[in-house]
Amino acid sequence: MLRQIEGSRAVAEAVALCRPEVICAYPISPQTHIVEALGEMVKAGEVPRCEFINVESEFAAMSVAIGASAAGARAYTATASQGLLYMAEAVFNASGLGLPIVMTVANRAIGAPINIWNDHTDAMSQRDCGWIQLFAENNQEALDLHIQAFRLGEELSLPVMVCMDGFILTHAFERVDMPSQEQVDAYLPPFEPRQVLDPAEPVSIGAMVGPEAFMEVRYLAHAKQMRALELIPGWCEEFRRAFGRDTGGLVHTYRCEDADTIVVALGSVLGTVKDTVDEMRERGAKIGVLGITCFRPWPSAAVRSALAHATRVIVLEKSLAVGLGGIVSTNVRTSYSGRADAVHTVIAGLGGRAITRASLAHAFGEALDGRLEPLTFLALDRPLVERALAREREVRRSGPLAENILRDLRTVASRVG
C-alpha cells in the first residue's frame, strides 16, 4: 500500500510487521520517533506477543536485547551517535555471542563538540564490531532492509545494523510502499534460534575463552559474515519477486556501463550524487555511481567488478578517520584493480554540512581534469581553519577550538553586516 509517511514511522511499522517479541527502547535523537511509534503500537495491541521494555540507558537497551535474544526471542532496538558508543561493549558482546538482534542506527555525528546532525561517524566507529551493516539510500530501502535484516540475521545467527541517515531520512516524509502482514510473513519465517538458553539444559554463554580457542571463535564469526555475501544477492532477488521492487543487495550501479570515472558513496547522499552525475552526463562526461548497501561484510568482489573498467574512482564519504582520511576509500582500494593513486577521497557532510549539487559538480569536475587532490574536504572554510591554526601558533593558551571557531564566525558575520 502506497503511503506518504515519515521515515521513522515507516521503519517502526516495518519492524512491527516482522513480529518482534522484545523491543528495548531508550530515546536519543534522531531515532526516538522509531521507538516511540513502536511503543504506541505495542500498547495498542497492534504487535501481538511483544514486550516493550523501557530501559535506563543505551547500554541497558543492548544488554536487554542480548538477554532476550539468548532466551530465544526476536529482539529489536535502535540508537544513534553517543548512544551507540555507550552500548559499544554490549554491541561487541552481541556479535561475539552470535545473537541475531536487529538494530536501527539513525546516523548522527559524534562529539565533541556536540552535534545532533547527520554523518556516518557513529556506524563507522563500530565497523569492525562483528555486526552486519546495511546502509539505506532512501526511506523505502530503509523499510525493506529491516525486513531483510531479520531474515539474514536469524539464518546466520548474527546481529544486523540497519543504518539510515538521521533527520535526512528519519524525519523526512516520503511515499513508501508498505507491505502487508501476509507478504512479510511469507518472506520472513518464524524465528527458530540456532542457540537458546533452556533451563532444562543449563549452559553458560560468554564465559572465558583462552588463547587455545579464541582465534577459532573469531574466525567463525568472520566466516559467517562471508556467508552473508553469498546469501544477500539471492535473498534480494527473492524479495524483488515477493514485493515487486528491487531493493537491498550488496551494491548497486548507476550509469556505470561506459563510465571511466565512478563515484562511490553510501546512504542518502546517493540521490544528490545521481542528480549531479545526470547533469554532467548531459555535458558529455562519462561518469557513473556505485552505491554501497552492504558495508560489512565488505563486498570486495562486487566492488571490484563494478570498478573493473574505471580509470578514476571518487569515494564520497560522510566520516573521517582522523590522521588518515578516508574509511570507505581504504576499503575501496583493497578491491580496485587499477592504480592506487587513481582513488580519490572526498570527505563531505560532516556534522550535517550541506552537500550540494554545485559543490559535487565542482569536485567531480576537478577529478575529470586531473586536479582533484588525493584527500579533499568538500566545502571546507579554509580561511576559518587558517585563522584557528595561526591562533595556536601564536598563543600558547589558545583555548578550545570549537568555541574559538564559533567566535570567529560571529566576528565574520558582524563584519559582513
Instruction: Tell me the pLDDT of the chain (417 aa) as tens digits.
Output: 999 999 999 999 999 999 999 999 999 999 999 999 999 999 999 999 999 999 999 999 999 999 999 999 999 999 999 999 999 999 999 999 999 999 999 999 999 999 999 999 999 999 999 999 999 999 999 999 999 999 999 999 999 999 999 999 999 999 999 999 999 999 999 999 998 998 898 988 888 999 999 999 999 999 999 999 999 999 999 999 999 999 999 999 999 999 999 999 999 999 999 999 999 999 999 999 999 999 999 999 999 999 999 999 999 999 999 999 999 999 999 999 998 899 999 999 999 999 999 999 999 999 999 999 999 999 999 999 999 999 999 999 999 999 999 999 986 544 433
- Please give the grid coordinates belonging to residue 253: 550501479
Cβ–Cβ under 8 Å, residues 279 and 361:
yes
Regarding pTM above 0.75, the answer is: yes
Q: Is 398 helix (H, G, I), strand (E, B) or coil?
A: coil
Q: How many residues does the chain have?
A: 417
Question: Is the preceding omega at residue 400 within 30 degrees of 0, hence cis?
Answer: no
Backbone φ and ψ for 179, nearest 5 degrees, come out as -70, 165
Cβ–Cβ under 8 Å, residues 230 and 223:
no
